[in-house]
Homo-oligomer: A and B are copies of this chain.
Amino acid sequence: MDKDDIVRKIKDHKKQPNLRFRLKTEVEKFSNKLFLCLFDMETPVEPSLLELEAQFTSLAELACWDPENSCKELWGQYLEKLPVILEKLNLDAEAIADCDPASLSLEEVYMAYPGFYAIAIYRLAHELYNFGFPLVPRLMTEYAHSKTGVDINPGARIGNSFFIDHATGVVIGETAVIRDHVKIYQGVTLGALYVAKNLEKTKRHPTIENNVTIYANATILGGNTIIGENSIIGGNAWITSSVPPNSTVFHTPEIKIKTLPNVP
Contact = CB atoms under 8 A, between A and B. Distances in A.
A88 B49 CA distance: 32
B50 A36 contact: no
Contacts of A148: 146
What is the count of identical protomers in the complex? Answer: 6
A19 B110 contact: yes
Given A102-B173, A256-B249, A264-B211, A111 B83 contact: no
A91 B251 CA distance: 38
A92 to B, nearest CB: 13
Chain A's interface size range is 35 or more
A211 B54 CA distance: 42
B46 A18 contact: no
Nearest to A135: B108
Contact of A54 (B47, B142, B174, B261): B47
Contact of A7 (B49, B166, B202, B248): B49
A169 interface: yes
Interface of A: 1, 3, 6-7, 9-11, 13-24, 36-51, 53-55, 57-58, 61, 76, 79-80, 82-83, 86-87, 90, 98-102, 104-108, 110-114, 134-135, 138-139, 142, 145-149, 151, 153, 155, 165-169, 171, 173-174, 185-187, 189, 191-192, 195-200, 202, 204, 211, 216-217, 219, 221, 230, 232, 234-239, 243-264
